[in-house]
Structure 1
Amino acid sequence: MEALPNKSVYFSLLEIKRPNTSRLVKLGCQPLRRNARVSLRTSTCVCEDPSHSSTIIKKYDRHPQNVDLPPILPKNKKKPYAVPLKKMQRVARQDKKLAQMGMEKPLDPPKNGLLVPELIPVAYEVLEHWKVLIRGLSQLLQVVTVYGCSKCPEIHVGPVGHNIQDCSGTGSERRRSHHSWVKGSINDVLVPIESYHLFDPFGRRIKHETRFDYDRIPAVVELCIQAGIDIPEYPSRRRTTPVRMLGKKVIDHGGPVEEPKPYRSEDCISLLAELDTYETLKAQSPVPSDTRRLAERTLKAYSSVRSGVRRLMRKYTVKACGYCSEVHVGPWGHNAKLCGAFKHQWRDGKHGWQDATIDEVIPPNYVWHLRDPDGPPLTSALKRFYGKAPAVVELCVQAGAEIPDSYRPMMRLDIVVPDTDEARFVA
């Protein structure tokens, strides 16, 4: 109940609950009388279905109307930690205290080298959806055009490149920040993130001199292998006894196990044709007969891969460099000196390992959302009215797939894009 200043009326909101009836909301007004006990009230009753109202509220809470565009992280700073720094320091102090007391660190699967049985089916589902995603994108690229800038990482999904002047690559001053568009590929849409394959993640670390002794495979595939998938071309050690650790030192590896001999390169190449985007570039994909159904299936596979990888990363450790895009699947990072990002000279080329996020394992690679592919290209003057979406989502949407509700706020579909002459009148 709130009184309005300099006015002799006030508004009240009452709620009356009755069994087996709809909710009644009374909106009314009555005059204010000083030193009076009785007052007259005129009310207006509005009936509303509570189920319809609650459905709208829940839908709004789950997906807001609009969200900010993803920020561009500066290259001269380290990435933010996925785990709060104080929490990591507290865990480190506890481990150090146990080590000083001579007590082993308590480890649960998979931190002790054993598998998590309930996550093995999840790993198989992720790998199958990963194959569907790669195969679907390679076919959709025969229908939808993708452009990439030859001077910067920017890409655009559409018949022609956009005219937004935000290029920061080489020679951008001479081009007035216009992009230099060239034909894109599947690696521009689904950014390849690779990791070293390890037979024993708790074994010896990869050194800079021995880095060529290990295969590089997609990080998603390596995560699925360590989660329980058996691929003959990429064997992995399955322990029956847990690993024992004292502080940061492994005191019991479970006994020595001889690593099997590597498979022939022909077998690995045939397998990577389904699991790796680089091998997909060499093969010519057929033109899909039903583009819309293929786009729906590809978009569903993309969502399933991200949700499955997110579940696996809650248990299995994945490390990412805080300065570059390197990712390593395992309890600790490798020692290969390959980092060339910010202040790499101070670190002698070593990576700054920290806990990885889902966007570092599967980068979304946001692109500008194109509402009308047949309309005029996007311009810098109307940049603030445009939305963004992951490249895979934008590709599938332009191929005929329905826009998922989780990506609608960032696409800004409810914002009316004005003409160039009208933009200066918009507040």
Structure 2
Amino acid sequence: MLQTFSALSISGASCSQIDVRLGLVETKKDNLPALKSYSLAFQFKHTEIQKNGRTKLGICCCSEQGPSKRRHFKKQEEPTQNVDLPPILPKRKKKPFPMPLKTILQNARNDRKLAHMGIEKTLEAPKNGILVPDLVPVAYELLNSWTILIKGVAQLLHVIPVHACSECSAVHVSKTGHDIQDCHGQTSSNRRGFHSWIKGSINDILIPIESYHLYDPFGPRIRHDTRFNYDRIPALVELCIQAGVELPEYPSRRRTDPIRMIGRKIIDRGGFLDEPKRQQTLNSSLMEFDTHRAFERFPAPNSEEEVPQIAEKTLKAYDKVKWGVSKLMNKMYTVKACGYCSEIHVGPWGHNAKLCGEFKHQWRDGKHGWQDATVDEVFPPNYVWHVRNPDGPPLKSTFKRFYGKAPAVVELCTQAGAKVPLKYKSMMRLDIVLPDGEEAFSVV
């Protein structure tokens, strides 16, 4: 719609009479979303208006209403100098659930509601026992990276010394043990909190987490009196086997028909099958996937020039293992962990072996308190103090807040010559300067 206002004459002009007319042009757009905000845009332009045979100069104003365009500016994240590690959970308390408790209770209510109505629960692979074809290569890559990681750590232990406390679980990667008074062993009060250092092993760098091997994860549960009928293997290996890796020594049932459930009850699992006889081989492939006696099986590097290359290769394998475990677990391959101890079970349900001896185990008759596991519980990082100068003096309790930490594998590889990954720099506090000289006496 065009609105023309009365002419505005300008007196005292040398030129011919100039009329300034203001025209408002309004355009409407239909079918605009109701939830979007709109802005009013104006545009002015000069036009020539014919009136009574005379040409006059006019000004036209056009307006258009449309959705406003908001500019979103990305906030630049400042690089942090230090990152605090996850807090150490108290032993006399249950671990927190990885999923909010309200979500767990709501899912349980929905399952009970469907079971009360007799509606079958919809299960997707691999929850229904069917393999996911896209994750089979991930499982093979994870197992391959795990063997490379074991070999690399075992070779680096011949060059880089590792110390472990005989009273607690502390580990230190350096030529000598540190002097930080944070030991919580049984006789730590006699040593004023100082650690009792001994020579460390590969199990101090890669904490062994084992699980029962099951031919059919959806079969009968492991009871306390039948626990010796099942072998204990590394949890990573059992996760890869259930994800599609074929090992002759440890077969696994591959289902073609999915299982069916109503609520928490299985109505069709395809029957029970007896476990086939295992193929006995002279050179068991499981030795490659276990850290037992790895220090003896893998010799030291041939020369000092190979040490940085082995360190870089080991560090890449460590990242691939962590990536593979998180991907398999995020794709719904169920892993259960005890909420009180470090027991891990790979499968839809935990076992019934009464082996838990942690906080208030008498109330549970020794049974584990199963809940969903996290990646750090299946593949623990095992944080250790970062040593900037291995040839320098040992770390002291006075400068404890200035020191950083890193996973034991990362610390071992960086001292062997590997480049420090960017994601661990803030954790290792490399940008913080240690006080020296007169400043060191003022640190409390």
| Structure 2 length-normalised TM | 0.80
Which of 361, 368, 375 in structure 2 is aligned with 1:358?
A: 375
- Offset of residue 254 of structure 1: 1.6
- Offset of residue 74 of structure 1: 0.8
Instruction: Tell me the residue number matched to 1:202.
Output: 218
Instruction: Tell me the residue number matched to 1:373.
Output: 390
Amino acid at match of 1:359: D
Counterpart check, 1:322 vs 2:339 = yes
- Offset of residue 421 of structure 1: 5.0
Hey, what's the Cα distance between the residues in 2 that align with 1:409 and 1:379? 21
Render the CA deviation track for 1:207-262: whole Å, top value 9, x for unaligned: 11111111111101100110011111110000000000111111111233231013
Instruction: Tell me, yes or no, if the aligned pair for 2:248 and 2:278 is still in contact at 8 Å.
Output: no
Instruction: Tell me, yes or no, if the aligned pair for 1:299 and 1:393 is still in contact at 8 Å.
Output: yes
Instruction: Tell me the residue number matched to 1:277.
Output: 291
Instruction: Tell me the residue number matched to 1:167.
Output: 183
Which of 343, 359, 364 in structure 2 is aligned with 1:347?
A: 364
Amino acid at match of 1:397: T
Whichever of the two has the greater Rg, that structure is 2
Instruction: Tell me the residue number matched to 1:8.
Output: none
Instruction: Tell me, yes or no, if the aligned pair for 1:288 and 1:294 is still in contact at 8 Å.
Output: no
Instruction: Tell me, yes or no, if the aligned pair for 1:293 and 1:401 is still in contact at 8 Å.
Output: yes
Instruction: Tell me, yes or no, if the aligned pair for 1:193 and 1:327 is still in contact at 8 Å.
Output: yes
Hey, what's the Cα distance between the residues in 1 that align with 2:269 and 2:378? 28
Hey, what's the Cα distance between the residues in 1 that align with 2:238 and 2:102? 30
Which of 390, 402, 423 in structure 2 is aligned with 1:406?
A: 423
- Offset of residue 286 of structure 1: 3.1
The secondary structure found in structure 2 opposite 1:167 is coil
Counterpart check, 1:287 vs 2:304 = no
Instruction: Tell me, yes or no, if the aligned pair for 1:382 and 1:420 is still in contact at 8 Å.
Output: no
The secondary structure found in structure 2 opposite 1:278 is coil
- Offset of residue 426 of structure 1: 5.5
- Offset of residue 380 of structure 1: 0.3
Hey, what's the Cα distance between the residues in 2 that align with 1:177 and 1:191? 24
Amino acid at match of 1:214: Y
Instruction: Tell me the residue number matched to 2:166.
Output: 150
**Residues 1:420 and 1:150: Cα distance change in structure 2 (over 3 Å):** farther
- Offset of residue 282 of structure 1: 4.9
**Residues 1:242 and 1:374: Cα distance change in structure 2 (over 3 Å):** same
Hey, what's the Cα distance between the residues in 1 that align with 2:251 and 2:146? 19
The secondary structure found in structure 1 opposite 2:398 is helix
- Offset of residue 326 of structure 1: 0.4
Render the CA deviation track for 1:333-363: whole Å, top value 9, x for unaligned: 0001111111111111100101000100011
Instruction: Tell me the residue number matched to 1:250.
Output: 266
Render the CA deviation track for 1:40-82: whole Å, top value 9, x for unaligned: xxxxxxxxxxxxxx9xx76x46x64321133211110111111
Which of 74, 85, 93 in structure 2 is aligned with 1:69?
A: 85
Instruction: Tell me the residue number matched to 1:9.
Output: none
- Offset of residue 278 of structure 1: 1.4
Instruction: Tell me the residue number matched to 1:46.
Output: none
Q: How does 1:121-136 map to 2 (within 5 A)?
A: 121-136=137-152
**Residues 1:347 and 1:116: Cα distance change in structure 2 (over 3 Å):** same
Instruction: Tell me the residue number matched to 1:382.
Output: 399
Which of 238, 256, 260 in structure 2 is aligned with 1:240?
A: 256
Instruction: Tell me, yes or no, if the aligned pair for 1:133 and 1:302 is still in contact at 8 Å.
Output: yes
Instruction: Tell me, yes or no, if the aligned pair for 1:381 and 1:420 is still in contact at 8 Å.
Output: no
Render the CA deviation track for 1:236-295: whole Å, top value 9, x for unaligned: 00000000011111111123323101343x65x732221001142453523353000000
- Offset of residue 424 of structure 1: 5.1
The secondary structure found in structure 1 opposite 2:333 is coil
Hey, what's the Cα distance between the residues in 2 that align with 1:246 and 1:179? 54
Instruction: Tell me, yes or no, if the aligned pair for 1:273 and 1:279 is still in contact at 8 Å.
Output: no
Instruction: Tell me the residue number matched to 2:350.
Output: 333
Instruction: Tell me the residue number matched to 1:4.
Output: none
Hey, what's the Cα distance between the residues in 1 that align with 2:238 and 2:178? 36
Instruction: Tell me, yes or no, if the aligned pair for 2:406 and 2:424 is still in contact at 8 Å.
Output: yes
Amino acid at match of 2:300: P
Q: Runs ≥4 in structure 1, deviation > 4 angstroms?
A: none
**Residues 1:411 and 1:349: Cα distance change in structure 2 (over 3 Å):** same
Q: Sequence identity, in percent? A: 64
The secondary structure found in structure 1 opposite 2:164 is strand
Instruction: Tell me the residue number matched to 2:117.
Output: 101
Across the aligned residues of Structure 1 and Structure 2, the Cα RMSD in angstroms comes to 1.8
Instruction: Tell me, yes or no, if the aligned pair for 2:155 and 2:300 is still in contact at 8 Å.
Output: yes
Instruction: Tell me, yes or no, if the aligned pair for 2:148 and 2:314 is still in contact at 8 Å.
Output: yes
Hey, what's the Cα distance between the residues in 2 that align with 1:416 and 1:69? 19
Amino acid at match of 2:116: Q
Render the CA deviation track for 1:359-389: whole Å, top value 9, x for unaligned: 0001111000000101110000110100000
Structure 2, unaligned runs of 5 or more: 1-73
Hey, what's the Cα distance between the residues in 2 that align with 1:278 and 1:185? 10
Instruction: Tell me the residue number matched to 2:43.
Output: none
Hey, what's the Cα distance between the residues in 2 that align with 1:282 and 1:347? 41
Hey, what's the Cα distance between the residues in 2 that align with 1:92 and 1:106? 14
Amino acid at match of 1:104: E
- Offset of residue 170 of structure 1: 1.5
Hey, what's the Cα distance between the residues in 1 that align with 2:278 and 2:351? 21
